[in-house]
Amino acid sequence: MNLDSHHKHSKGFTLVECLIVVILISVAIGWSIPNLRRQLIRQSLNNYVLRIEAGLQALRMKQAVVKTGCEMNFPSDALTTVGPTSISKFKSPETTIEVAKLTTDEKKDRLNCSDDPMINQRFRFLDSEQGPGTEYVELSFSRSQFSISPPGTSDDGGSLVILVRAKQHASLQPELPIRCVEFSPNGLSRMGDWESGRCETR
């Protein structure tokens, strides 16, 4: 009789044990969600850097076919000063390098690779715009104007550096690195991290 009574009372968990399990689960979730969010933002950041480099190389290949140069213009409120005392201003991709939704004249002001509007429509900074992760990033540029020389010519006017950072950059602790793509007038490019006012290859 006593054994049956003891067996009945030993089934299940006590209230204290249940509370401990709930607390442990809450702590685990509280730790994992911010880290998961951070990893998703980091992945979006890296993917967007790859998209920019691929887009610029694709633009360069189109130039080889059309045999033309390209003039790029970037907003004055999205510029970065290069050097040890670097100051950066960032804007969204939609207001800086995306051109699909622009009128013909608006696109020409942002990216002009041909006087023929039909030919100029073929050119863009990114092969695909509004892709996954676009909403997580913002951009800055080392110059307001940049020219890519026509194939077979040279231009030593200096490189363009495009900085890519998370929109939540200031709130992420520790902060994610600011990524960068450096693109020369002759079509050479490299990716890295923005450190001490320079694009350092990683």
Ranges of each domain in the chain:
10-201
Residue 107: closest CA among 61, 71, 131: 71
Global pTM value: 0.79
Predicted confidence at residue 67, as pLDDT, reads 87
Q: How far is CA 51 from the centre of its chain?
A: 8
Q: Is the pLDDT of residue 161 over 80?
A: yes
Cα(184)–Cα(81) distance, integer angstroms? 17
Check residue 142 and report its DSSP letter. Answer: S
Going by pLDDT thresholds of 50, 70 and 90, the confidence category of residue 123 is: very high
Tens of pLDDT, residue by residue over 21-56, are 677 666 655 555 567 777 888 888 899 999 999 999
Averaged pLDDT of the chain: 82
Instruction: Annotate 15-47 with b (16+ C-beta within 10 A) or e (fewer).
Output: eeeeeeeeeeeeeeeeeeeeeeebeebbebbbb
Residue 180: closest CA among 73, 74, 80, 38: 80
Going by pLDDT thresholds of 50, 70 and 90, the confidence category of residue 136 is: confident
Mean pLDDT of 58-65: 88
More confident residue, 14 or 23: 14
Check residue 155 and report its DSSP letter. Answer: -
